[in-house]
Amino acid sequence: MRPRTTLPPMIVAAAAIALAGSTVPTSRRASAASPSTSAPTKTTAKPETKATTSSTTTSSTTAASAPPASSVTKIAPTKKPGTAKGKYASKSGIGWAPPAYVAMVKQWHLPTATKAPLGESGRPKLVLYSINRGERVELEATTDRGDFSPVDLDKAAWILRSADGSEHPIDAALLDMVYELEKHFKAGEIRIVSGYRAPTKRLGSNHGYGRAMDIVVPGTIDEWVASYVRDLGYTGAGTYPISGFVHVDVRERSFYWIDKSGPGAPNKTKGILPKDALANDAKAAKNGKVRPPSATIGRDVDGAIAARVKAVLGAASLNPQDVDDENEGVDMDDDAEISAGPKEK
């Protein structure tokens, strides 16, 4: 095999000039023919850059055909139309919402035109508005904290009923917390995205206990709402920046999270601020706040209520002198505790 020889630079340059008519692009062919043109300089062709495209698709969009290979250049990540700033559909795990949904979320967050109406006591009423049903109830607070009457608790159970119409007793502490949010942020109402959700396979969510709401406080940023709820202690607070609401609940041990899934998509829950959760519970206990008891009502709501009534009647028959018409002396929270299945983490 003959050894490869290296041609001198002058020979290489001469060969390049001789072959200019067939190898140099059109723009350089004219300059090579000009007598005033100097020897061509060495150029390096840029490598072809592959286009980068978003890897996430949705059922409502159709993938576009790939551009011709000759026109492929570097493309920045494509922003889905209508999403919030910086929210891309990609491998980053951030969800996506259709433009119409994004516009609807903006409407949810618009402030109310008027303040919450005042009750007979001069306190603002708690106004609950169901976004999905267009229904509204006004609840009269009996104290500055809330402490709503049984009649108003029934109204809350109705407005917070599940999609199939099932009602569930609502934890009074949850209403007190939402009332505090309405007053603190000076909102005219609290807008409800979701309230009670009838459990299916297991009772893993506080929605199934009447202890949770997905809400929007009009005129207020969701993160501000979540931050305020966290500071109360013994609460759950989850932000859903793509779906556009805040989850709030009452629980025995605080837990906070963020979920960047889009509407109707599988959850992408990520726990956050675990040290803050412990600290806020400790602070609440130091300030005299009572830890919420375990949830005592499971799937059989009617059975649980019947058991409580039976326990009250039994206590009245055994100790009639200790029970008046308002059932004084009977601890309703300790009677006929019903197993509620696995506790929520």
Give pLDDT tens digits for 222-255. 999 999 999 999 999 999 999 999 999 999 999 9
Q: What does the pLDDT read at residue 174? A: 97
Q: Which residue has the higher pLDDT, 214 or 304?
A: 214
Question: Hey, which of 19-28, 35-44, 268-277 has the most confident mean pLDDT?
Answer: 268-277
Assess whether pLDDT exceeds 90 at residue 204.
Answer: no
- Per the structure, the complete domain to which residue 306 belongs is given by 296-345
Q: Which of 3-7, 88-92, 208-212, 300-304 has the lowest mean pLDDT?
A: 88-92
* DSSP letter for each residue of 89-149: -STTS-----HHHHHHHHHHTSPPSSPPPB-TTSSBPEEEEETTTTEEEEE--SSSS----
Q: Are residues 123 and 190 in the same domain?
A: yes
Q: Are residues 159 and 272 in the same domain?
A: yes
Sign of CA dihedral 226, 228, 229, 230: positive
Q: Are residues 200 and 341 in the same domain?
A: no
Q: Are residues 248 and 275 in the same domain?
A: yes
Assess whether pLDDT exceeds 70 at residue 106.
Answer: yes
Over the stretch 108-125, which tens digit does the pLDDT of each residue have? 999 999 999 999 999 999
CA distance 213 to 159: 11
Q: What does the pLDDT read at residue 333? A: 32
Q: Are residues 196 and 300 in the same domain?
A: no
- Grouping H, G, I as helix, E, B as strand and the rest as coil, residue 237 is strand
Assess whether pLDDT exceeds 80 at residue 177.
Answer: yes
Q: Which pairing describes strands 135-139 and 212-216: parallel, antiparallel, or unpaired?
A: unpaired
Q: Are residues 180 and 139 in the same domain?
A: yes
Quick check: is 233 in a domain?
Answer: yes
Domain boundary among 267, 286, 305: 286
* DSSP letter for each residue of 252-308: SS-EEEEE-PPTTSPP-EEEE-HHHHHHHHHHHHHTTPPPPPPP---S-HHHHHHHH
Q: What does the pLDDT read at residue 327? A: 34
CA atoms within 13 A of residue 2's CA, in its CB half-sphere? 3
Q: Are residues 128 and 267 in the same domain?
A: yes
Quick check: is 70 in a domain?
Answer: no
Q: Are residues 312 and 331 in the same domain?
A: yes
Percent of the chain at pLDDT exceeding 90: 52
**Count of beta carbons in the 10 Å neighbourhood of residue 30:** 10
Stretch 302-327: mean pLDDT: 52
Which residue in this structure is represented by tokens 């402030």?
Answer: 111
Q: Are residues 200 and 268 in the same domain?
A: yes
Quick check: is 66 in a domain?
Answer: no
Q: Are residues 267 and 178 in the same domain?
A: yes
Return the closest-CA partner of residue 83 out of 224, 242, 212: 242
Q: Which residue has the higher pLDDT, 330 or 316?
A: 316
**Count of beta carbons in the 10 Å neighbourhood of residue 237:** 26
Q: What does the pLDDT read at residue 308? A: 56
DSSP 8: P
Q: What does the pLDDT read at residue 31? A: 40
Q: Are residues 240 and 308 in the same domain?
A: no
Quick check: is 79 in a domain?
Answer: no
Phi, psi at residue 130, to the nearest 5°? Answer: -85, 115
Distances (CA, A) of 250 to 212, 309, 341: 7, 25, 17
Stretch 165-191: mean pLDDT: 96
Q: What does the pLDDT read at residue 90? A: 34
**CB neighbour class for 316 (10 Å; exposed up to 12, middle 13-18, buried from 19):** middle
Q: Are residues 279 and 300 in the same domain?
A: no
Quick check: is 48 in a domain?
Answer: no
Quick check: is 2 in a domain?
Answer: no
Whole-prediction pTM: 0.62
Over the stretch 25-79, which tens digit does the pLDDT of each residue have? 444 443 443 434 444 444 444 444 443 333 333 333 333 333 333 333 232 333 3
Domain boundary among 265, 286, 307: 286
Domain boundary among 258, 286, 314: 286
Number of domains in the chain: 2
Quick check: is 90 in a domain?
Answer: no
Q: What does the pLDDT read at residue 294? A: 79
Q: Which residue has the higher pLDDT, 299 or 330?
A: 299
Structure tokens at 290: 């009572």
Quick check: is 5 in a domain?
Answer: no
Mean pLDDT of the chain: 73
Q: Which residue has the higher pLDDT, 318 or 155?
A: 155
Q: What does the pLDDT read at residue 198? A: 82
